[in-house]
């Protein structure tokens, strides 16, 4: 049986918000026409804040796991960690750095209304010092989504997934803002 | 030719043997249409895709999701020659369906998220590595006949 069809209760709010936003959950192309830069609607921002709040007890695990999976599934990403003795999945430096990154993501949730402004110094760090190729932000985002899905399978609905994916994409854009 | 270790074969086989093709197929395709709404362009004849709820309740989409999983099953059964197994399917997607091959990657990512939700902690790092390797071979084979 299709359980997702009976999810009506959780998503009862969706129809109420159609008046407020042009592109909240409206998946049609017409709905997105007015928001061509794919920014988050106010409903999606609320969805992100809500999910991250639910996730907060496990945020360290998710950060550590996500970075471990990044270097495992996409071994080329280890090229950024050649200065560590051990950059293998699950190693102490990888786990520690994954936690650091996740901390940065949480900080960005707090600045969700102005990511470019709020992440200016982090953007400069990535642009002038770290120079991480932006394609890797997408790869790490994917690994984060997988971990979120594993640890919160019920909460990580398609609607939450799209909001978080958009947020991480916006975050990546803000981080790459100063690249050129 | 793609080389598979015994461990990778075992992991992929195990994932499929525990999979409800209907459930996972439906969930993956729905998630793809919701998370990447531009993919809806290929489903004009599939009825109501107005929002997430209607997509999730759409029986035509559900049926197509199952079809896709059965298609993946063919790759599982021919792991040593996915390239040739999918030659016709690749041509179909290119010449008849006109699907941008980047969409295969998007669906593959959604499939990974859905399976991660299903398997929870059993979706270990090694499992994810093997699974994504399998999917990347599938995606590559599906895009191979485009011209």
Which parts of chain B fold into alpha helices (H)? 6-17, 21-35, 52-57, 59-77, 82-85, 87-91, 102-119, 125-143
Sign of CA dihedral A89, A125, A178, A108: positive
Record: contact A2-B56, CB cut-off 8 A = yes
Selecting from B50, B57, B117 the residue whose C-beta is nearest the C-beta of A28 gives B50
Selecting from B30, B41, B57 the residue whose C-beta is nearest the C-beta of A158 gives B30
* pTM tops 0.90, yes or no: no
The full length of chain A comes to 180
In 3D space, the residue among B69, B129, B49, B52 whose CA is nearest the CA of residue A161 turns out to be B52
> Which residue of A25, A27, A58 is the best one to mutate when testing the B interface, meaning the one whose CB has the most B CBs within 10 A?
A27
**Residue pLDDT, tens place only, A97-138:** 999 999 999 999 999 999 999 999 999 999 999 999 999 999
**Residue pLDDT, tens place only, B12-50:** 999 999 999 999 999 999 999 999 999 999 999 999 999
- The nearest CA of chain A is from the CA of B35 a distance in Å of 5
Looking at CATH, the fold of the domain delimited by B6-143 is given as Globin-like (1.10.490)
In 3D space, the residue among B127, B138, B97, B99 whose CA is nearest the CA of residue B18 turns out to be B127
Domains of chain A: residue spans and CATH: 45-176 (1.10.490.10)
The residue ranges of every structural domain in chain B are 6-143
ipTM: 0.89
**Residue pLDDT, tens place only, A64-105:** 999 999 999 999 999 999 999 999 999 999 999 999 999 999
Chain B positions touching A32 (Cβ under 8 A) are 37
Spatial contact of A59 and A95, defined as CB atoms under 8 Å apart: no
């Amino acid at each position: 049986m299709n359980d997702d069809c009976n999810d009506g209760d959780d998503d009862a709010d969706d129809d109420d918000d159609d008046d407020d936003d042009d592109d909240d959950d409206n998946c049609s192309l017409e709905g997105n026409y007015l928001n061509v830069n794919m920014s988050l609607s106010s409903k999606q921002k609320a969805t992100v804040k809500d999910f991250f709040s639910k996730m907060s007890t496990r945020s360290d695990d998710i950060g550590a796991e996500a970075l471990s999976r990044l270097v495992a599934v996409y071994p080329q990403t280890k090229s950024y960690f050649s200065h560590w003795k051990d950059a293998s999945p699950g190693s102490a430096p990888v786990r520690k750095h994954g936690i650091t990154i996740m901390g940065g993501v949480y900080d960005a949730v707090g600045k969700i209304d102005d990511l470019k402004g709020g992440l200016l110094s982090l953007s400069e760090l990535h642009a002038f010092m770290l120079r991480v190729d932006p394609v890797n932000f997408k790869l790490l985002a994917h690994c984060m989504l997988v971990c979120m899905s594993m640890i919160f399978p019920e909460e990580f609905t398609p609607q939450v997934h799209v909001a978080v994916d958009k947020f991480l994409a916006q975050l990546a854009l803000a981080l790459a803002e100063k690249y050129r | 030719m793609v080389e598979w270790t015994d461990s990778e074969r075992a992991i992929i086989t195990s994932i499929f043997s525990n999979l409800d093709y209907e459930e996972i197929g439906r969930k993956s395709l729905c998630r793809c249409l919701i998370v990447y709404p531009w993919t809806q362009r290929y489903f004009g004849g599939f009825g109501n895709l107005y929002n997430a709820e209607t997509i999730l309740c759409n029986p035509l989409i559900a049926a197509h999701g199952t079809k896709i999983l059965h298609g993946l099953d063919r790759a599982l059964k021919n792991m040593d020659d996915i390239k040739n197994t999918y030659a016709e399917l690749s041509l179909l997607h290119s010449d008849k369906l006109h699907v941008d091959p980047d969409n295969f990657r998007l669906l593959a990512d959604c499939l990974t998220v859905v399976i991660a939700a299903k398997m929870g902690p059993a979706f270990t790092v090694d499992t994810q590595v093997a699974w994504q390797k399998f999917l990347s071979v599938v995606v590559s084979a599906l895009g191979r006949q485009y011209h």
